[in-house]
Amino acid sequence: MDDQSKNNSINKDSNGDKTKIVKTQKRENTNDKMGNINNEGSAPNNNETNTKVSHNQNTIPPAGNPHSDFEKNTHKKRPDSLLGETIKNRYEIESLIGHGGLCDVFLAKDKILESSGSDTPYVALKVLQKEYASQPETARMLIREAQQTQKLSHPNIIRVYDFGVDGDIYFLVMEYVDGETLESLIQRSRPDGLRYNAALSILNQTLDALSYAHSLGVVHADLKPANVILTSEGKVKLLDFGVSKTQQLKHDQYAAKRKSQDTDTLGYTPNYASLDILSGKEPKFSDDLFAFFCITFELLSCKHPYGRTPADEALKKGIRVRKPTNLPFSKWRLFANAFATGTVPQGLNCVDIKTRLNRNRWPLYSGIAATIALLAGLGMFYQQQQDTISKLNLALAEKDQTIELAEQLLNTLPEDTKALIDNKQGLHPVIEAGFLRLYKPHLLGEFESKIDDVLNSDVTTYPNYDQIESILQQAKVYYPDSHKIEVLALDIQSSKHSTLLSIARQINSHLEKSVYAQVEGEKSIYDLKSELHEIHQDYPFTPSSLASEVFGQHLNEALQLRDAAALVTLIKVGNTFFAESEEHQENLAFSNAMKDAVLEMKLYETAKESTNPLAFPSDAARLLYQEEFEGLHYRLKQARTTVNLDKLVKDIDAFAENFPPGFQDINDLRFQTADKYLQFSDILLNKRKSKSARRAMKKANELLKRVETEAEQS
């Protein structure tokens, strides 16, 4: 089972080590201390507007009596009615620790962790309030929060361990944290706010969490003091990714195409929203940074930059934001630009902001630089004196050597001439020219002898033309105008060219006849290619058009039949001879992946019934069934009725037989299908078709339960 499937059902074994829970100091203080923790959309404090804005709110009363039933449902059931209940036969609810507009958050004991002997068996259980459980929009939001947050594994982000449905109860299982929100910290810090150095650790950790989420393409979209927790150990935790959005950063070559996120509903807190968010644009990374600037301002001053007015209204009113006393002047420009425009520049990121907030050592650096410059100047003066002394000593040595060399020149032998010329030390150009002219026959004879040795060597099948050309180039250094050397060089080049053409014709002949394997008594195409490179390392061999056509036909046939053995042979041929051919590059790249995928699936099928079965090759399966996955996703996207979805569910079930239970891509399909049922349920409710809406809701719940069941089995 792959990583994502594991996340959908954490801690299924009895080991409690994976559960990240911070113990409370006193259980009696839970309700008081944790009132603002782990709650999405919780009841706001007096100093914060906690408005959730929705572009697609469903205000149609439920089916039945359109007035009495709706009015009955608007009276919220007391959240403490779940106290003492056990969800999914696992999570025993002990106390209410948060109550919001959509969800209640309870302190619950995980029975599995307790039975395993864990000393921290407590989790936070986030439960959708009963009156919203039948509304597809809110159920979708809870599912989306779980899916988004489970992608994030960072020490400064609240973990979501599990989510599911128990009857009509939709719930998330989250990390339980002992601490207070920044909203509470700001209230305690009135009226002056935190000092900059005291707030810097909080800001750095918040930026680390945002940077990590942004690196995965996730935008929080509702960052505010109530959604940032500071633990008793001083650790920052971000929560509430229920309205977050995902931006595509990279593409997985094995992954089937996914349906894009539903963007009909966007929740945010206006007081911390940028101008772009308030104008209805899609959330971006820069919008999180704008909210971060607002939080920073409040931490340092205990005041909202615009006096709790949304940015668009503040700019219209001409509200001018002044620097907080606790913020260093050198940092203010970064914030002033954002508050003056209501936006953060797209190029600015978390790393840049963190660097600027922590930059405070310029005086120290300046002093060090001045000291280094002084030491460098002293060292340079000393080195110049040493260089002068060395040059004088060298000049004296050269004079002595010149006298000694002149004495040796009188007794130079012909066989020693080349070594003497090559050395050049102390040899006057006129003397060098005289030696070359006097001993020309002898020196040319030495080069010809070296060429004969290479031509007569039996080490290789063909002469080493590169070595011969190197010898001729050496000869030209001494006698650049020699006619004899020029004629010899032309003969060698002609012989080399003829040999290369002959070998290239043999290779093309084999390729055109699709003779890719070794034939007894003949050289293989790889042997010939090796000889080609031995003669000329960079020879640009080009397959003929017929050879390219024949290869393309064989490669396409092997891909269609998923013939792993043929693909192995053809991939080697393609990588050796057709790697530079544009018409084959795409198929070659796909063939490499397809070959490995086919082999992995065959090994898995072979070992499945043995005593040592292999793990299911998920990536290989995704590649082999990529077209089928794309087809199912396309049908899901085009589905316009619940009848279409019913047929699709049957086809998904049949297709799922190719994979083990709990396979992530099948689960994704079922999740998205359930989401589409919820969308249709919403539409049908708006059309007053309550019976059809309930049927669609039932189908969605069945799919969600099936995904959860298969995840547990896997």
Q: Residue 231's pLDDT band (boundaries 50, 70, 90)?
A: very high
Residue 400 pLDDT > 80? no
Task: Answer left, alpha or beta for residue 242, where phi above 0 means left and psi between -120 and 50 means alpha.
Answer: alpha
pLDDT for residue 343: 97
Round to whole Å and give the CA distance between 200 and 324. Answer: 15
In this predicted structure, the answer to whether residue 542 has a pLDDT above a threshold of 80 is yes
Q: Residue holding tokens 């003969």?
A: 491
Which DSSP helix (H) or strand (E) runs through 230? strand 228-231
Contact 645, 699 (CB under 8 A): yes
* Phi, psi values for residue 192, rounded to 5°: -95, -20
Closest CA to 594 of 632, 554, 627, 567: 567
The pLDDT of residue 244 is 59
Q: Say what the pLDDT of residue 410 is.
A: 56
Share of the chain above pLDDT 70, in %: 78
Q: How many C-beta neighbours within 10 Å does residue 31 have?
A: 13
> C-alpha angle with apex 267: 266 to 273, nearest 5 degrees?
105
pLDDT band of 50, cuts 50, 70, 90: very low
| Both structure tokens of 126 | 């986030």
The pLDDT of 415-423, averaged and rounded, is 67
Q: Is 162 helix (H, G, I), strand (E, B) or coil?
A: strand
Lookup: tokens for 576:
């050796």
The pTM score is 0.45
pLDDT, average across residues 639-661: 92
Residue 697 binned pLDDT confidence (cut-offs 50, 70, 90) = very high
How far lies 211's CA from each of 98, 156, 207, 284, 459, in Å? 28, 11, 6, 13, 62
* Secondary element (H or E) of residue 171: strand 169-174
Q: Is pLDDT larger for residue 451 or for residue 60?
A: 451
- Does residue 36 have a pLDDT over 80? no
Residue 567 contacts residue 591 (beta carbons within 8 Å) = yes
In angstroms, the CA 287 to CA 467 distance is 66
Residue 152 pLDDT > 80: yes
For 99, the token pair is: 């109550």
pLDDT (0 to 100) of residue 370? 60
The answer to which of 259-263, 416-420, 644-648, 691-695 has the lowest mean pLDDT is 259-263
- Opening angle at CA 22, ends 16 and 28, nearest 5: 115
SS3 110: strand
Average pLDDT for 646-672: 92
Could you tell me the domains of the chain? 3-180 (3.30.200.20), 181-358 (1.10.510.10), 625-713 (no CATH)
Both structure tokens of 174: 């989250």
Q: Kindly report the average pLDDT of the chain as a whole number.
A: 80
What is the model's pLDDT at position 243? 55
Evaluate if residue 9 carries a pLDDT over 80. no
What pLDDT sits at residue 555? Answer: 87
Best-predicted range by mean pLDDT (36-45, 445-454, 474-483, 513-522): 513-522
- Rounded Cα distance between 221 and 283, Å, is 6
pLDDT digits (tens, 9 = 90+) for 547-605: 999 999 998 888 777 777 788 888 889 888 998 888 888 888 878 777 788 788 778 87
Give the dihedral sign, CA 528/529/534/536. positive
Lowest mean pLDDT among 147-151, 371-375, 449-453: 371-375
Distance, in Å, from the CA atom of 258 to the CA atom of 706, rounded to the nearest integer, reads 20
Residue 333, CA distances (Å) to 275, 323, 351, 357 in order: 19, 9, 17, 11
Confidence of residue 417 (pLDDT cuts 50, 70, 90): low
pLDDT in the model for residue 458: 72
CA distance 122 to 7: 18
User: How far is Cα 162 from Cα 175, in angstroms, rounded to an integer?
Assistant: 10
DSSP one-letter string for 124-157? EEEEE-GGGTT-HHHHHHHHHHHHHHHT---TTB
Q: Residue 171 pLDDT > 70, yes or no?
A: yes
Rg (CA), the chain: 39
Residue 386: the pLDDT is 80
| Residues 445, 449: Cα–Cα separation, whole Å | 6
CA distance 242 to 245: 9
| Rounded Cα gap, residues 185 and 203, in angstroms | 13
Query: Where does residue 536 rank: exposed (0-12), middle (13-18), buried (19+ CB within 10 A)?
Result: middle
CA angle 216, 220, 226 (to 5 degrees): 140
pLDDT computed for residue 394 by the predictor: 84
Tens digit of pLDDT for each residue in 63-93? Answer: 333 333 333 333 444 566 899 999 999 999 9
Contact 189, 174 (CB under 8 A): no
pLDDT of residue 40: 41
Q: How far is CA 192 from CA 160, 197, 231, 327, 495, in A?
A: 36, 14, 22, 12, 91
Model pLDDT, residue 74:
36
Which of 46, 44, 26, 25 lies closest to 35, judged by CA? 44
pLDDT digits (tens, 9 = 90+) for 102-119: 889 999 999 999 999 999
Question: Is 155's pLDDT higher than 90?
Answer: yes
